[in-house]
Every structure is written in structure tokens, then in C-alpha cells.
Amino acid sequence: MVKNIDWNKMGLLEGKVAIVTGAGSNMGEAAAELFVSEGAKVIVADHHVERGTAVAARIGALFVQVDVSKSAEVDSLVQIAIDKFAKLDIMFNNAGIARLCPVTDVGDEEYQAIMGVNVGGVFFGTRAAGRIMRQQGFGTIINTASTNAILGVPGMALYSASKAAVVSFTKTVAVELAPFGVRVNAICPGAIPSPIIMADMGVTTEDLADFDKKLPMGRAGKPQEVARGALYLASDQSSYVTGHALVIDGGLTAAGLPPV
């Protein structure tokens, strides 16, 4: 039975414990900050110590360094949450990497890196959190996919495949964990530029300006706009939502445009 709650008197995540991976920048940082502002105790998890430490200090969260492509480190991350807070309400598997490269030029190491972070990180995070949440009888898992999972984008075959895997994985796990009170959803952001992503993909400010003009809303998205979608899925306001891939793209996929 869903309780009647006066959300005006408390934060949407009041008393909840959340882990956000890739929280040292962009969408992960915005989500971690928003979760804290809504009352959650947040663990900022990131591979980059300097960025992650700075974000955690700024928003009043705990920083844990983690390489999400390594299962032992992800297991340890989840255990830290349990040891410190005795529960885990929200697992936001957000960490990801992207490269712009023709499929015929992709090397083995690059393949392992992208699949290891984008698919492995989601799997390891979901497995570790799912074990705890199943035992608890509650919890919500959010996985960051992409509009690349929906659209064909030249030069991004590997990245797109990894994000399509995230969507399929999310739907299947949602069905598996639903009987145990655990919800699992994905978000599919569109064009959400950041200096890090632009550098990784070789996208210039001029490229973005030209692309923005083609979008139905006439602009790229902001990390905070994606964070609000994640907040909805993390909160009890989405109590009957599971197995969903929430597109947050300003009309990009509706217009059939590539993400970059």
C-alpha cells in the first residue's frame, strides 16, 4: 500500500541512502548534488580522485574511489554503504565512457575499456546492489543508457552497442527483481555536453552550436535536467515504474536526429 506523503514537508529522498557512480562530473555530479538536496545520504563514487573528492566536499557527501569495470571494487563500494548506513535505497549506475571512432578502427583495448565500464559497470553495480536490495525487500536501481541505444550513429557503433545492452539488461533485471520490491529503470540522455565528453569524442563548441540548431527545442540539454529524471526514478513518486527507459533528449529521438 502506498502511503500518502506530504512532499512539501520533506525532501523526496529524505532518509534514503544512495550511491552515484561517475559522480565526479556532468550528470553524475548533478544527480549527486540533487539527491543530497532532497535529503539523501550520498556516496560519490568515481575513478578520478581529485574530481570526486571535490564534488563530495562541496555537496556534503562521502567520496569513494572506484573503477566500475572491476567487480571487487564495486562490491566493496556497496559494502561501504552498508557498513556506514546499514542499508542501500538507491544505486545509480551512471559511470560511462565514450569514443568517436569507426568500427573498423576500434582496437581490442578500446573495446575492453568501453564494454568494461559501460556494460560491466552496470552489471557489477546492479548485481552487488541487487543482492542487498533483494534481501532488504526494497530499493531502486537506475542505469544510464543513451539515445545511442535507439539511434544509429556513425562512428559510435561500440558505444551504442554498450548502451543498447544497458537498456535490455535493465528491462530483464526489472522483471527478475520486481517480486522482491526492487525497481530497476534506465535513463537515455540525448545531447548533454560537458568538457570531458567533448574531449573524449572530439566534439568542438562549434559542432555543438551547429547541432543545437537542429534540435526541436533548439538547445542541448543540461546535466541538471537529466538529474531531475533520475530523481523521479529514485524517489517513491515513481513507485509503480520499473523496466522503463526514460528518454531525456529535448525531442532528439522524436526528430530522428543522431545524438552528436
How far apart, in whole angstroms, are the C-alpha atoms of residue 68 and residue 96? 9
Strands across the sheet containing 62-65: 62-65, 41-46, 17-21, 90-93, 139-144, 182-189, 245-248
Question: Of 111, 159, 232, 240, which one is the catalytic site residue?
Answer: 159
Instruction: Please answer whether residues 151 and 258 qualify as being in contact, where contact means their C-beta atoms are separated by less than 8 angstroms.
Output: yes
The grid coordinates of residue 219 equal 538547445
- Check if 159 is active-site: yes
User: Which residues does the annotation mark as catalytic?
Assistant: 159
